[in-house]
Amino acid sequence: MRTLALFALVAALILGTGVLQSWNSALIILNMGLVSAIMALGVNLQWGLAGLFNVGVMGFVALGGLAVVLTSVTPVPEAWAAGGWRVLGAIAFALAAIAGAVFAWKTLPRKTRGWAVAAIAVVGFFLYRAILDPAVSAIESVDPAATGFLGGLGLPVLLAWPVGGLLAAGVAWVIGKTALGLRSDYLAIATLGIAEIIIALLKNEDWLTRGVKNVIGLPRPVPYEIDLQNDAGFVETAAGIGLDPTTASTIYVKLGYSVLFAVVLVVLLVLAQLALNSPWGRMMRAVRDNEEAAEAMGKDVTARHLQIFILGSALCGIAGAMMTTLDGQLTPSSYQPLRYTFLIWVMVIVGGSGNNLGAVLGGFLIWFLWVQVEPMGQWLMGVITAGMADGSALKAHLLGSVQHMRLLTMGVILLLVLRFAPRGLLPER
Amino acid sequence: MDFLNALVALANFVFIPAIAYGSQLALGALGVTLIYGILRFSNFAHGDTMAIGTMFTILVTWGLQALGVSFGPLPTALLAIPFGIVLTSLLVLGTDRLVYRFYREQKAKPVILVIVSMGVMFIYNGLTRLIIGPGDQNFADGERFLISARDFKTMTGLDEGLALKSTQAITVVVAILVVALLFWFLNHTRTGKSMRAYSDNEDLALLSGINPERVVMVTWIIVAALAVVAGTLYGLDKSFKPFTYFQILLPIFASAIVGGLGSPLGAIAGGFIIAFSEVGITYAWKKVLTYMLPESLEPSGLVQLLSTDYKFAVSFVILIIVLLFRPTGLFKGKSV
């Protein structure tokens, strides 16, 4: 009942935007709301179901974006010829060196193993750089204004979504292996760090992602507006329902995304619900509520944590790939931790941790607020400053800083929910 | 001569910047570690506490400058720091009263407090941006250099210059004073001792009649002071930008964990370890090596292990290594 009412409220908010502002902005909110809901679902899996504290959501989202580039962009044959295979060789060498270091750590006697691992790491690093660097500069000098990177595989862009999930899962496995089983805050700080590093990689490894030059014009799973506007049949249908071709085409494209995203969300939500109510879900909650007891019952707590950490991160990766597809471009500098990590956390906490529907609700609601707080703040500041003299510095400053109201509002919402409704809008059953 | 040149280049580009940066990190990490020891949670709002505290200092500095007050060759901001500390203390005490105390009384799990600190982080961050804006603010005045590179060259006749910015010298001096004061307080005053007792064993401390609310209050004031000093020094040395203060959270946490969470000495050691590794690994060693090695071995590249954009990766890797091999940190911190 409560669930229905709250979802109806969110629907009313989005429809209200459509009526009062424009259907285009309503659909923009809806589409990012769908993506945010999937991210929230991922975090809820980790936090709500297993009590894992992941503050590296941004990194996994960015990996999803990287997956779109790697899968769907057409390959750049000149760059591959210039040094593509050498880069792959360097990466293979690095992996071999790491494997060698792990092997040495496990087999050598205690006394010498530290030195051996350090030696392998240092020598390996320099050799890796020696192999990698010439290849990188060769690739980056291939027509740097247009390409200067290896490109992707040229596969359909929808394939990038599961690939994004896999990429995020792989990185999550590495982090989980090192940081799980330690104190909970350590995982938080480790994930915070890895997210920063992933963003640094995307910004600086031009041969992979073009760095801050951005990859634009990513392939789309829906038609282009301009093609629709030139399609006589489409223009006619649009005119039939009384819309001009431009508006009709933009709405059509956004609706296309909405349908695709909604399908993904529903599938993931059903899977998450099934998982929650399965014996596996009960076990996860048992582990969350009392690790010692679960361990005494013969459950491998660390392995279960690793499992769910990977699953949740994979969801964030899928959502990240979807978001980059929606944007049509990968802009590494647009990833901000407050927006992509901590805002998702607000969604989960406000929605109700442990409740999948709650996470989805939180995703929509908080995203709606995040977008709409700015016009509201503008209005509020307008009221506050109405009495002030025009041109006063304070008035200009207040009106100019409206955009920062968002962070403040989110913080206040988070604290209020934590204090007065710590289980969220839709509490766990 | 070449050897001296190499030494000077090393001091100029690695040693001095790393010491200044290390002092700033150490002060920040001390704040994190104190919160962890006494209040028992990782304070994600610390970076933004530093930002908002620095903002107060900057505002007071501007006020003082407008009044025509100056500190001679030293930056006016040093005069403003006490005001910044008072304002920040009031802010964090208010936050504690309104936000954290409720969870302390509930005996909430530490991870809940971490999430709460995330909310506080949002609010502080929003306030900072609302009041001073997200852009760069430069508030350093007074002498820029203690020794400028050109003076050094003419003085010694070496090819390499050694520049010592006054902010770097001030950073180190102030950091030493603050740390000395903190350790004297923790080791020799009644309140300091009760803080350490509370950190070591809460129940025992309560039994012996220590007032927990008082300990918490003093902790917040000290943390506010440390945050303001660290933030202002960082801002003087580099520049003030709210987002960089959020990002500095990672090296600060890395310093505190590497040293051992809850251990003040460890936080200082951790700060310098992180700073020296960051600067050393992202510095292009070509210059130093060119002086040191015979001509035939001269390096062709920059000999930069990682580009400066990866400085976060350095703190992270050190953090991971320590977590893997010595989870309680170098100085045996807590592991709750």
Rounded Cα distance, A32 and A21, in Å:
17
Chain B contact present for A186, CB below 8 A? yes
Residues on chain A touching B114 (C-beta within 8 angstroms):
53, 185, 188
Q: What is the distance in angstroms between the Cα of A408 and the nearest Cα belonging to chain B?
A: 5
Per residue in B130-170, pLDDT (tens digit) is 888 888 888 888 777 888 888 888 888 787 788 888 889 99
Output DSSP code: residue B306.
Answer: S
Task: Answer whether A408 sits within 8 Å of B122, measured CB to CB.
Answer: yes
The answer to whether B42 faces chain A, any CB pair under 8 Å, is yes
- Residue B322 touches chain A, beta carbons under 8 Å: no
**Domain range list for chain A:** 2-75+151-381+390-420, 76-150
Residues A407, B323: C-beta atoms closer than 8 Å: no
Looking at residue B64, its pLDDT comes to: 92
Nearest neighbour of A408 by CB, restricted to B99, B127, B247: B127
Q: β-strand B145-147 against A329-330: which pairing, if any?
A: unpaired
- Give me the torsion for CA of A150, A156, A160, A166, rounded to 10°: -90
- Predicted confidence at residue A391, as pLDDT, reads 66
Q: Residue B335 pLDDT > 60, yes or no?
A: no
The CA distances from residue A175 to A61, A96, A101, B85, B239, in Å, are 15, 19, 17, 38, 33
- Taking contacts as CB-CB distances below 8 angstroms, the residues of chain B near A51 are 111
Cβ–Cβ of A193/B307 closer than 8 Å?
Answer: no
List pLDDT tens digits, range B205-227: 888 888 889 999 999 999 999 99
Contact A272, A293 (CB under 8 A): no
What is the pLDDT, as a whole number, of residue A168? 95
Residue A207's closest CA among A111, A124, A118, A86? Answer: A86
pTM of the model: 0.90
CA-based radius of gyration for chain A: 24
Number of neighbouring beta carbons within 10 Å of residue A81:
12
Q: What is the per-residue pLDDT for B336?
A: 43
Phi first, then psi: give them for residue B284, nearest 5 degrees: -85, 110
Q: B264, B12 in Cβ contact below 8 A? A: no
Closest of B262, B257, B258 to residue B200, by C-alpha: B262
Chain A interface includes B197 (CB < 8 A): no
When mean pLDDT is compared across A195-209, B43-57, B267-281, the lowest value belongs to A195-209
What is the chain A residue with the closest CA to B326? A182
Are the beta carbons of A404 and B130 separated by less than 8 Å? yes
What average pLDDT does range B311-319 have in this prediction? 84
Successive 10-residue mean pLDDT values, chain A, 429 residues: 90 90 90 96 92 92 94 88 88 92 88 87 89 87 82 89 95 86 78 88 87 87 86 85 84 93 96 92 90 89 92 96 93 89 93 92 94 83 76 74 83 93 88
Question: Which residue among A185, A200, A346 places its CB closest to the CB of B114?
Answer: A185
pLDDT confidence of residue B21: 94
Q: Which of residues 63-102 of B touch A (CB under 8 A)?
A: 99, 102
- CB pair distance less than 8 Å for B119 and A179: no
How many cross-chain Cβ pairs, A to B, lie less than 8 Å apart?
130
| Nearest-CB residue to B316 (from A51, A193, A203) | A193
Number of domains in chain B: 1
Residue B334, pLDDT score? 62
What confidence tier does B288 reach under pLDDT thresholds 50, 70, 90? confident
Give the gyration radius of chain B's Cα atoms.
21
Q: Sort A58 into a burial class: Cβ within 10 Å, 0-12 / 13-18 / 19+.
A: buried
Predicted local confidence at residue B7, as pLDDT: 85
**Residue B267 has which token pair?**
């936080």
Look at residue B233 and tell me if it is in a domain: yes
Identify from A418, A419, A420 which residue to disrupt to test chain B contact, counting B C-beta atoms within 10 A and taking the largest count. Answer: A418
Give the closest-approach CA distance of B47 to chain A in angstroms.
13
Interface touch B125/A411, C-beta < 8 Å: yes
B336 to A349: CB separation less than 8 angstroms, yes or no: no
Strand (E) or helix (H) holding A330: strand A329-330
Chain B residues touching A183 at Cβ < 8 A: 327, 335-336
| Residue linked to tokens 């936050």 | B95
Instruction: Return the residue in B106, B115, B315 with the most chain A beta carbons within 10 A, the one to mutate for interface testing.
Output: B115
The whole-number pLDDT of residue B53 equals: 96
| Res B172 pLDDT > 50 | yes
Match 């750089």 to its residue by tokens: A129
Mutant choice from B33, B49, B103, B316 vs A, greatest count of A C-beta within 10 A: B316
Q: How far apart are CA A164 and CA A325, in angstroms?
A: 11
Burial of A296 (0-12, 13-18, 19+ CB in 10 A): exposed
The residue count for chain A: 429
CATH no. for A2-75+151-381+390-420: 1.10.3470
Per the prediction, chain B carries an average pLDDT of 88
